[in-house]
Amino acid sequence: MNYETILSEQIDKICKITLNRPKQLNALNTTVFSELEAAMNDAKANENVWAILITGSGEKAFAAGADIKEFSEFNQSQAKELSANGQRIFKLISDCTKPVLAAINGFALGGGLELAMACHLRIASENARFGQPEVGLGVTPGYAGTQRLTELIGRTKATELLLTGEMIKAPEAFILGLVNYVVSPAELDSKSMELLGKITKQSPVALAGILNSINGYFDKKSDGYQTEVNEFAKCFNSEDFKEGTSAFIERRKPNFTGK
């Protein structure tokens, strides 16, 4: 499928989705949201895709926020719809049963940081900058930034960053637990593919169960412990479980199929 604002390609078992508006610092507009949703749904439906990588084109930004020019004249009703739609699409990412990794180059601000936080894993280049600067525009974050930032780094520091709108650099983001690794810009793509390569050697059935269980911990409407019981039990009915246990007993590497 041809896209206007993103690129999508499959590399082995990994679908790489690239935000492709470098002149606009990959700002998120309605077209980006629509195409990102379509690309995610295609990757989820593709049995040959076991993991997803999201990144930004160019050297300056992962995504420097929402496209302010697009919504600056919105009324309250339009703003509510915009926020709800953004949260819905980012929840599609966070609820995905295939691991999703954000490779963050340059700025990840506002909606860009909210997109990165919706992913399950994050790797940042040394030049990455993170922030929720919406308060400086007289508005709150709208795509779950107040929720996910608090969840990931804790209430105290999240409150400070949200109330001041200040940016932090990649090393501090790592210390706070916002990102998994910090690497040089030249190593960002290879490190991301290396980590996803390790993950895609595992059973997709077990990977999905783990992600569902983790999400169950944070879902106020569910019991994460019971979710884990259910996912654990489901694995026993899979071909991957039979293959994994047989490989262990036979002292060989498993060949998982995702079934």
Question: Which sequence positions are flagged as catalytic?
Answer: 114, 134
Contact 144, 114 (CB under 8 A): yes
Q: What is the residue whose two structure tokens read 């269980």? A: 213
| Cα–Cα separations (whole angstroms), residue 199 to 120, 182, 208 | 12, 19, 12
Secondary structure E strands in 47-146: 51-56, 61-63, 100-104, 107-109, 121-125, 129-131
CA dihedral (258, 18, 109, 93) positive or negative: negative
Q: Which residues fall within 8 angstroms of residue 122, CB to CB, at 6 or more apart?
A: 101, 102, 104, 116, 178, 179, 180
Strands 107-109 and 181-183: unpaired
